Structure 1
Amino acid sequence: MENEVAIVTGGASGIGLAIAKELMQSNIQLVVADINQDSMDKLSSEYDLYDGQKVDVTNETDVKNFVDYVVNKYGKIDRSFHVAGATKSDLIIDQSLEDWEFTIKLVLNGVFLFTKYVGQQMKEQNHGTMVNISSINANIPMFYGAAYSSAKASVIMLTKNAALELSDYHINVNAILPGLVATPLTKKMTANKVVDDKFKEKITAKRAAEPEEIAKPAVFLSSSDASYINGSSLIVDGGWQVTAYPDLRELRAQK
């Protein structure tokens, strides 16, 4: 895998950083797109293969310029992982349009923009793989999560459509659907014992995943070992989806 070049959005922390580290173990050059410049600077000083660039993944000009930077500096893009995401949550009847649009833009539009511009480059070079990070919330609704769940469900269909449209150019596009993962984004839930216990009741593994447990299957889907997998969504949830989603209203009730 030496001389390969990979993009990771949201690669300054959490799942994105775990994917970056997994790739660097195989001597793959990383170019990370994130808004946390301080974290990327620190990681760039620690890892020779880590190149962090500040990018707003919802800004089309930022994304295009980032892809141009990668191609101009490294010559190609072999793999692209679209991980960046966050949400502003509320019940549907209380959610502001502004918060709804924040979530849709970051979770869905960010994946679309990278698929568009990375896809253009991969089409030109006639090869490549993309892995989109969706969520089991694409299949399981949750209280306060309509925007996030809707956006993550759309990522699955975007993945399928991209696989269809790009397959002629030897580009595979797949998705990972993580369950609960121990990241900074989920700390508010996992740090609350009442809510954390409710999650553990539902997850057959009785724990949250470590980011590395999502990174390894994501990297697998980007590899030649997965060359006959295209347009698929791999659930990595510790057996959670065979049960159901906990009632998160108690989290809000404790405020």
Structure 2
Amino acid sequence: MSSAAMSNPEPAGRLVGRRILVTGGGRGIGRAIALALAAEGADLGLVSRSLPDLEVAAKEVRALGRTAVVATMDVTDPDSVEHATDQVVAELGGIDVLVNNSGVITASRLLDTSVAEWDRVMDTNLRGTFLVCRAAGRHLVAQEHGKVINVASHFGLMAASGFSAYCASKAGILHFTKVLALEWARHNVQVNAIAPGYVATDLNTDLREDEARTARIVSRIPARRMAEPREIGPLAVLLASPDSDFMTGSVLVVDGGEAT
């Protein structure tokens, strides 16, 4: 090995050179995924409605030596989705992978669920996934390569009383993932999903502070604990990497066995 090669080593990581758009990338699972992708060499476009959260996550990505651009995006608004996607593509010079992570959850039995509440969940989770896939997918299909990773939930695979809107939206994402996998396979675009179970994030701090409720939830999980956000990141790395080039329409479930 030459002295020049020794002093200027090639960057390491399975995702070096990949440009990845992550929705909801400023907090929770989205932030953990973003950091895992950056650690493997990816450059990131982080989008959500909260610019301060995005700036914090972007600073962490840059500390790993990777590029991070941020843009505000409301996944329920077609114009916002198109504008933010175009901004990220322009600033990164393209896009190779999309991670759809933005989502909301509500808990109420059907007869207590308002139309507004139902629409908020469906618009964010299912409509948002559709809008961002459509915006980013135009670029992926046109260049004849790319990957889409939709973050769903194990509640898309199992029924949970009091979560009708959430379960329906996440089940929709899983089936939508399979349809896109079929449509885009001939364009060398792989579309897969991750279905996490309960993950300990700042978004469910109130739930975890209720010890009795937490104990009931954990008792239903064979692993007897919630996941940590860092446990979701490696799955996104796999689905974003060349290691999954022959994998499409699949769902990776990480829920400690709850939906088994």
Q: What pairs with 1:173-184 in structure 2 (closer than 5 Å)? A: 173-184=191-202
SS at match of 1:241: coil
- Note if 1:100 corresponds to 2:114: no
Q: Is the deviation greater in 147-156 or in 194-203?
A: 194-203
- Residue aligning to 2:69: 51
- Residue aligning to 1:234: 252
Shift of 1:14: 0.6
- Residue type at the aligned position of 2:249: G
Change in 2 beyond 3 A, CA 1:87/1:225: same
Q: Is the deviation greater in 7-16 or in 221-230?
A: 221-230
Count of residue pairs brought into register by the alignment: 242
Scaled by the length of structure 1, the TM-score of the pair is: 0.91
SS at match of 1:76: coil
Instruction: Write the distance in 2 (CA, Å) between the matches of 1:35 and 1:240.
Output: 31
- Residue type at the aligned position of 1:113: L
Q: Confirm or deny: 8 A CA contact 1:89 1:99 kept in the other structure.
A: no
One of 22, 26, 30 as aligned partner of 2:44: 30
Instruction: Write the distance in 1 (CA, Å) between the matches of 2:53 and 2:154.
Output: 28
Shift of 1:18: 0.5
- Residue type at the aligned position of 2:51: Q
One of 5, 8, 29 as aligned partner of 1:15: 29
- Note if 1:210 corresponds to 2:228: yes
Task: Identify unmatched segments of 5+ residues in structure 2.
Answer: 1-14
SS at match of 1:93: helix
Change in 2 beyond 3 A, CA 1:236/1:46: closer
- Note if 1:62 corresponds to 2:76: no
Deviation digits for residues 191-211 of structure 1, max 9, x if unmatched? 211111112211111110001
Deviation digits for residues 210-253 of structure 1, max 9, x if unmatched? 011111112211211111110011111111123xxxxxxxxxxx
Q: What pairs with 1:86-165 in structure 2 (closer than 5 Å)? A: 86-165=104-183
Shift of 1:129: 0.3
Instruction: Write the distance in 1 (CA, Å) between the matches of 2:139 and 2:147.
Output: 11
One of 76, 96, 104 as aligned partner of 1:78: 96
Q: Confirm or deny: 8 A CA contact 2:37 2:233 kept in the other structure.
A: no
Scaled by the length of structure 2, the TM-score of the pair is: 0.90
Q: Confirm or deny: 8 A CA contact 1:127 1:170 kept in the other structure.
A: yes
Deviation digits for residues 75-103 of structure 1, max 9, x if unmatched? 21111100011123311011100000000
Shift of 1:46: 4.1
Instruction: Write the distance in 2 (CA, Å) between the matches of 1:14 and 1:138.
Output: 19
Instruction: Write the distance in 2 (CA, Å) between the matches of 1:43 and 1:19.
Output: 11
Instruction: Write the distance in 2 (CA, Å) between the matches of 1:183 and 1:159.
Output: 25
The CA RMSD measured in Å over matched residues stands at 1.2
Percent of residue pairs bearing the same amino acid type: 31
- Residue aligning to 1:252: none
Q: Confirm or deny: 8 A CA contact 2:20 2:44 kept in the other structure.
A: yes
Instruction: Write the distance in 1 (CA, Å) between the matches of 2:98 and 2:236.
Output: 10
Shift of 1:67: 1.6
SS at match of 1:47: helix
- Residue type at the aligned position of 1:74: L
Q: Is the deviation greater in 130-139 or in 82-91?
A: 82-91
SS at match of 2:194: strand
Q: Confirm or deny: 8 A CA contact 1:10 1:16 kept in the other structure.
A: yes
Q: Confirm or deny: 8 A CA contact 1:76 1:125 kept in the other structure.
A: no
Instruction: Write the distance in 2 (CA, Å) between the matches of 1:154 and 1:194.
Output: 31
- Note if 1:41 corresponds to 2:59: no
- Residue aligning to 1:248: none
